[in-house]
Amino acid sequence: MLPPDRHDVHVAIDGFHLWGSSRDRGIGTYVRGMLAALAPRDDVRVTITVPAEVEGEVVEGDVTVPEGIRAVRVTPRRSGPLGFIEHARRSGEEFAALGVDLAHVPGLPPPARPTVPTAVTVHDLFPLTLRWTANSRERNLLRLSLPLLRRTDAIVVPSEHTAAELRARGFDPARLHVVPNGVDPAFHPAGEVQASDRPYVLMVAGPDRRKRRELSLDVIEGVVAAGLPHRLVLVGRQTDEQEAHLRELVAARGLGDHVEVAGHVDDLAAWYRGAAVVLVTSAGEGFGYPAVEAMACGAPVVALANSATTEIVGQAGVLVGGDDVAALTRATVDLLADDDTRARLVVAGRERARAYDLDTFGQGLVDCWTALLARSPR
């Protein structure tokens, strides 16, 4: 435990999700945001654990550990459920060997045997609360993690929505810390704008089923039927199978001239800046990066009002209750035809997004760790 007058907290961050399949998903974005938020601070020292199988420098693709953060290689992990269990068993011992004051695990699994004061980020419980959005492996891994979470000293959640889900399952409110995620400063209104020969509605979504990309096709059908010139652009990395299925749906609906399946893009901010509207059709979000990134770039948001999306967007976007796709379509068409309302939402969204900057995110994490160390018996 740190003495109360010491301000240099040494934290180990589990880098398990910064490489491999999680890199381009929300949790990879979250870990990169943690590192970017903490690297400039002089009141915290950060060590990140790096899977030993990462070759060469501690860089893979567009993943880089910022200057000033120490990276330490740990034992390789197998893939799949066995690797998940193995990671839970080993991570506590690895943290102890680093000589840190505490550890932060930015995603599941938590350590099976915590050896230093430990915080764990729980982004959502959708594999159990929205069962259809997850496969049996994802549901089982979350079930395995819940008992381990009850041994964790502090749980960080990105929204009041996730906090409420954990309280409903009997987790101690005193151990829950709501720390909204921070958005990369690259998402801002001034910068390159994606060139396009037609105005477009943008949807940004990874491979999760709960994003419900197919609903965006219903919306663009309504946009086309209303005589508006906008097309739909679908951005986000998917599996080959998912992308092929999506293209089949587009063709079957006769929307080939009105939908672009862009996949992964290098300059996502430019696509946000060029969008007439950004559409969020997800069945649930623990935080929801696309809505905040869009607002930060000056793009109006139309979203289904559920889970954390409601609290994150607030009055700065158009929220449509329930799963009413017809209402979502009407709201999108109305907004595309209303320049004054879109201009108002651009201003409101930019103001709203300021609450989710990296400095605020980093301070929230440090405040959680300070409170954890003050009460930790270890």
Q: What is the pLDDT of residues 18-63, one digit of tens each?
A: 766 676 678 889 999 999 999 999 999 999 998 766 544 444 433 5
pLDDT given for residue 116 in this prediction: 96
Q: With pLDDT > 70 as the criterion, what percentage of the chain qualifies? A: 91
pLDDT given for residue 54 in this prediction: 56
At position 338, the amino acid (one-letter code) is D
pLDDT given for residue 1 in this prediction: 39
Residue 64 has pLDDT above 70, yes or no: no
CB 321 within 8 A of CB 302: no
Q: With pLDDT > 90 as the criterion, what percentage of the chain qualifies? A: 76
pLDDT given for residue 255 in this prediction: 96
pLDDT given for residue 133 in this prediction: 86
Q: What is the pLDDT of residues 158-180, one digit of tens each?
A: 999 999 999 999 999 999 999 99
pLDDT given for residue 71 in this prediction: 87
CB 263 within 8 A of CB 237: yes
Separation between Cα atoms, residue 267 and residue 13, nearest integer Å: 27
- pLDDT bucket at 76, cuts 50 / 70 / 90: low
Q: What is the pLDDT of residues 173-202, one digit of tens each?
A: 999 999 999 999 999 999 999 999 999 999
Chain mean pLDDT for the chain:
91
Phi, psi of 191 (to 5 degrees): 155, -170
Q: How far apart are the first and last CA of the chain?
A: 6
pLDDT given for residue 59 in this prediction: 43
Separation between Cα atoms, residue 71 and residue 65, nearest integer Å: 8
pLDDT given for residue 207 in this prediction: 86
- pLDDT bucket at 345, cuts 50 / 70 / 90: very high
pLDDT given for residue 2 in this prediction: 39
CB 327 within 8 A of CB 143: no
pLDDT given for residue 65 in this prediction: 81
Phi, psi of 225 (to 5 degrees): -65, -30
Q: What is the pLDDT of residues 233-273, one digit of tens each?
A: 999 988 889 899 999 999 999 999 999 999 999 999 999 99
At position 221, the amino acid (one-letter code) is E
Of residues 291, 285, 290, 289, the one with CA closest to residue 308: 285
Strands (E), the chain: 9-14, 44-51, 59-60, 63-64, 70-74, 102-105, 118-121, 154-157, 176-178, 200-204, 231-235, 259-263, 277-280, 301-305, 318-321
Q: What is the pLDDT of residues 85-142, one digit of tens each?
A: 888 899 999 999 999 999 999 999 999 999 999 999 999 999 999 999 888 888 998 9
Residue 276 has pLDDT above 80, yes or no: yes
At position 229, the amino acid (one-letter code) is P
Separation between Cα atoms, residue 105 and residue 266, nearest integer Å: 28
pTM: 0.92
Q: Which DSSP letter does residue 93 get?
A: H
Q: Can the peptide bond before residue 199 be classed as cis, meaning omega within 30 degrees of 0? A: no
Give the tokens for residue 68: 């000033």
pLDDT given for residue 377 in this prediction: 56
Separation between Cα atoms, residue 322 and residue 304, nearest integer Å: 7
Give the tokens for residue 18: 């910064």
pLDDT given for residue 60 in this prediction: 40
pLDDT given for residue 26 in this prediction: 82
pLDDT given for residue 66 in this prediction: 85
Q: 64 or 3, which is more confident? A: 64
How far out from the chain centre does Cα 70 lie?
Answer: 24
Q: 65 or 359, which is more confident? A: 359
